[in-house]
Amino acid sequence: MPNIIEHTIRTTQIKESELDESERLLLQSAKEATDRSYAPYSNFRVGVALLMSNGEIITGSNQENCAYPSGLCAERTALFYAKSKYPDCAIDTIIITARDTNGEFTPTPISPCGSCRQVMLETEMRQSKNIKIILYGTEYITIIHSAKDLLPLSFDNLFPEK
């Protein structure tokens, strides 16, 4: 008999008005980051804002390229920049926003791709601290308490403990 794997994702759904002041500031930064997206092929603009443990906010946006897959997602753009600028600083929160092909913010939250999920998970492992993931939609916001919840069958056991 095959093994059955069940996984429950721990999420919370809230309205924008329920965000605290720092999260509202972070959301505004993520929304503004969508304006810096380079998405001439998909016209789907993604913006991300990270809150670092030192209080700094790092933003990123998706950057497409006609030589697909040479572009980069907004999440990895921000995560890689944050860890190169502040290598010893933990990432506390990430907010992900998107504008559809009509330029409107998506009514329901979008989820990061598998590559971004893996990078988030490995970032959590490196910093020994969960990252609060906030997925923005105009109708509701989803809060995920760890990247592990987004990627239950991840590559987290490939490397031995040091």
CATH number at residue 72: 3.40.140.10
Ramachandran class of 103: left when φ > 0, alpha when ψ lies in -120 to 50, beta otherwise:
left
161 in a domain, yes or no?
A: no
Q: For 84-103, what is the mean pLDDT?
A: 97
* Per-residue pLDDT tens over the stretch 40-83: 999 999 999 999 999 999 999 999 999 988 999 999 999 999 99
160 in a domain, yes or no?
A: no
Question: Which residue of the set 18, 75, 139, 161 is catalytic?
Answer: 75
Query: Which among 80, 26, 70 has a CA at the least distance from the CA of 48?
Result: 26
85 in a domain, yes or no?
A: yes
Query: Which among 28, 86, 84, 20 has a CA at the least distance from the CA of 53?
Result: 86
158 in a domain, yes or no?
A: no
Counting the structural domains of the chain, the total is 1
pLDDT at 24 over 80: yes
Q: Is 16 a catalytic residue?
A: no
What pLDDT does residue 9 have?
Answer: 82
